[in-house]
Amino acid sequence: MAEGAGTADGPGAADGADATRATGRIEGFLDLDLDRASRRGAPEAVLCDAKSVEQVAAIAAEYARLHEAGREDLGPVLFTRADAARAEAVLAALPDAHHDPSARFLAWPAAPPAPSGGLVIVACAGTSDLPVAREAQLTAHYLGRPTRLFADIGIAGLHRLQSRLPALREAACVVVAAGMDGALPTVIAGQISAPVVALPTSVGYGVAAGGQAALTTMLSACAPGIGVVNIDNGYGAGHLAAQIARWAPESGE
């Protein structure tokens, strides 16, 4: 293979390679947003599935390095949509991270903040939506909210919803994950006074494939009080719910 194409400002190396390691900017591809916690009140999150295993490993290693270098202000960092290979890459650098394989989620350090603010409940109809629902719950958990997960609410049998209503009414925010027809957020929002974060999942086939049907249903909901996030964006739903519940009084339980 020929040499010579990769001169300093040429295509062989991205700019920024000379960035100082003190700021979390490395190798021309990484510029950690370390002050996000202070600016936005929430930790950094690393979306893993569009990155190579090597890139994920490098990012995890950079956090480990900064931690060893004595930076005290690193809030928890979340690694989302991490398959087995990428999770292994994170754990190699940060072995004490918390890892939930079904949610493809890691958090480091493993200890969440002390819970504050109102209760966040994540609700879904059942087994298929659980991975995304758990990603939402874990995100809210690591942003410092008390959380619960109800995985047995489906509108094909309203009795299951009705038995959960008293508990749902104690939440400061309810995340509702649903695939297929995506009708659950509408039904729940019509029964409670707290905001609902609607989280469409890609569970479905035919016209429901990829979550499109669930998404449009949620955006079209007859009941007001619903904010929708992207399909399978459990992280975004949990983040928004944690922000919403921040000022709410702590609920019972």
Chain residues 59-78 in contact with a copy of itself, contact rule CB under 8 A: none
Q: What is the DSSP letter of 79?
A: E
Give Cβ neighbours of residue 38 (< 8 Å, ≥ 6 apart).
73
Which residue lies nearer to a copy of itself by CB, 66 or 211? 211
Q: Rounded to whole angstroms, how far apart are CA atoms 185 and 208?
A: 16
Q: Rounded to whole angstroms, how far apart are CA atoms 70 and 72?
A: 6
Residues 112-131 that bind a copy of itself (CB under 8 A): 112, 118, 125-128, 130
Q: Confirm or reject binding of residue 141 to a copy of itself (CB under 8 A).
A: yes
Total residues binding a copy of itself (CB under 8 A): 127
Selected from 77, 176, 194, 251, the binder of a copy of itself by CB under 8 A is 194
Question: CB 148 → a copy of itself: shortest distance, Å?
Answer: 5
Burial class (CB in 10 A: 0-12, 13-18, 19+), 206: exposed
Which residue lies nearer to a copy of itself by CB, 33 or 83? 33
Q: Rounded to whole angstroms, how far apart are CA atoms 238 and 140?
A: 5
Q: Confirm or reject binding of residue 50 to a copy of itself (CB under 8 A).
A: yes
Which residue lies nearer to a copy of itself by CB, 65 or 126? 126
In the three-class reduction of DSSP (H, G, I as helix; E, B as strand; rest coil), residue 3 is classed as coil
Which amino acid, residue 155?
I
Residues 81-110 that bind a copy of itself (CB under 8 A): 81, 91, 95-100, 107, 109-110
Question: CB 97 → a copy of itself: shortest distance, Å?
Answer: 7
Q: Confirm or reject binding of residue 226 to a copy of itself (CB under 8 A).
A: yes
Question: CB 193 → a copy of itself: shortest distance, Å?
Answer: 4
- x/- track of binding to a copy of itself for residues 148-167 (CB under 8 A): xxxxx-xxxxx-x------x
Distance set, CA 207 to CA 170, 181, 203, 216 (Å): 35, 9, 11, 11
Selected from 79, 93, 218, 251, the binder of a copy of itself by CB under 8 A is 218
Alpha carbons within 13 A on the beta-carbon side of 15: 1
